[in-house]
Amino acid sequence: MTTELYPYDYNGVPDTHDEIQDHSNEQRWLINEIIRPELPNIIDNVEKCVEGLYSDQTFKMPLSNSTAGNSVLGPTIKGIITRQGTNVLDFQIALSFPEFKKGKPTIYRMNTGVKFSLYQLEYIGKNLQTILELLEDLEIEEDTELFLEKFRSVLSVITQSINVLENPPKNLIFPFDNNFAMKQMFQGYGELSESNHHEISLEIVLVKNELCIDFRNLEKVTKKPWCNIDLETKKSLVDKIKEALKVDRDKTLSETLRENDVHLEEPGLITNLMISTFNRESTTLQQAQAFIARCITYNGKVVIETEKISVTTSDPTLISITSKLSSIERSISNHFTNLEVA
Rounded distance, CA 145 to CA 143, Å?
6
Q: What is the pLDDT of residue 308?
A: 96
Within 8 A by CB and 6+ apart from 170, the residues are: 176
Residue 47's pLDDT band (cuts 50, 70, 90):
very high
Asked whether the predicted pLDDT for residue 72 surpasses 80, the reply is no
Which residue in 168, 174, 242 sits closest to 202, CA to CA?
A: 174
Q: What is this structure's pTM?
A: 0.85
29 lies in which domain range? 22-53+121-167+320-341
Residue 69's pLDDT band (cuts 50, 70, 90):
low
Q: What is the pLDDT of residue 24?
A: 84
Q: What is the pLDDT of residue 250?
A: 82
8-state DSSP, 268:
-
Asked whether the predicted pLDDT for residue 273 surpasses 90, the reply is no
Domain membership flag for residue 152: yes
Pair 300, 309: CB distance under 8 Å: no
Pair 93, 63: CB distance under 8 Å: yes
Q: What are 106-122's pLDDT values in tens digits?
A: 999 999 889 999 999 99
Domain membership flag for residue 142: yes
Residue type, 139: E
Coil/strand/helix, residue 201: strand
Counting the structural domains of the chain, the total is 1
Pair 168, 206: CB distance under 8 Å: yes
Residue 96's pLDDT band (cuts 50, 70, 90):
very high
Q: What is the pLDDT of residue 22?
A: 76
Pair 289, 256: CB distance under 8 Å: no
Domain membership flag for residue 262: no
Count Cβ atoms below 10 Å from residue 56 Cβ, excluding itself: 6
Pair 307, 97: CB distance under 8 Å: yes
Q: What is the pLDDT of residue 283?
A: 87
Pair 232, 226: CB distance under 8 Å: no
Beta strand 198-207 pairing with 116-117: unpaired
The strand pairing partners of 309, in sequence order, are 215
100-112 burial code (b ≥16 CB/10 A, e <16): beeeebbebebee
Domain membership flag for residue 26: yes
Asked whether the predicted pLDDT for residue 194 surpasses 80, the reply is yes
Q: What is the pLDDT of residue 341?
A: 78
Torsion (CA) 166, 169, 174, 179 in degrees, nearest 10: -120
Q: What are 32-41's pLDDT values in tens digits?
A: 999 999 999 9
Q: What is the pLDDT of residue 264?
A: 87
Residue 251's pLDDT band (cuts 50, 70, 90):
confident
Domain membership flag for residue 36: yes
Calculate helix-pair angle for 39-53, 316-341, nearest 10 degrees: 150
Domain membership flag for residue 158: yes
Across the range 90-97, mean pLDDT stands at 96
